[in-house]
Amino acid sequence: MSASAPAGEKFNEALKVMGVTAEQFEAEVKKGFIAADTDKSGGIEAKELAPIVENVMNAMMEIGTEFTKSEKESAVADVMKLVDQNKDGKLDVKEFGDAMKLGVLAIASALAAKSESKSA
């Protein structure tokens, strides 16, 4: 999974906070890929990614992040656009891992924002 240096550092920090090693994350990505690939096509399509993105957004909303209706509606397409590197309309395991990494970073960012607002 690719990440810029700052994003990579933030991701590693998020994993530490979660008490998860990089190896455990990779194993969970592989398990998650198999579970998400409901049609067993070998790739995750937008319709298969949608429930995962929804779960991440729900977790962020519980933390206090708000989303507009258009943000909610475009979230899956936005994630697909960001991580579907070969633009085939499906995510392979690596691309799915990148999507999961985005989810971890989004939740970590929401938690940090909530923590900062409490201390302000």
Mean pLDDT for the stretch of residues 8-34: 92
Question: Does 98 score more than 90 pLDDT?
Answer: yes
How many Å separate Cα 49 from the centre of its chain? Answer: 10
CA-wise closest residue to 102 among 45, 52, 27: 52
- Compute the average pLDDT of residues 28-42: 97
Q: Is residue 38 a contact partner of residue 48, using CB atoms and an 8 Å limit?
A: yes
* CB neighbour list of residue 72: distance below 8 Å, 6 or more residues apart: 57
* pLDDT tens digits along 65-83: 999 989 989 999 999 999 9
End-to-end CA gap in the chain: 35
Predicted local distance difference test score (pLDDT) of residue 119: 73
pTM for this entry: 0.85
1 pLDDT above the threshold of 90: no
- Phi/psi of residue 91, each to 5°? -100, 130
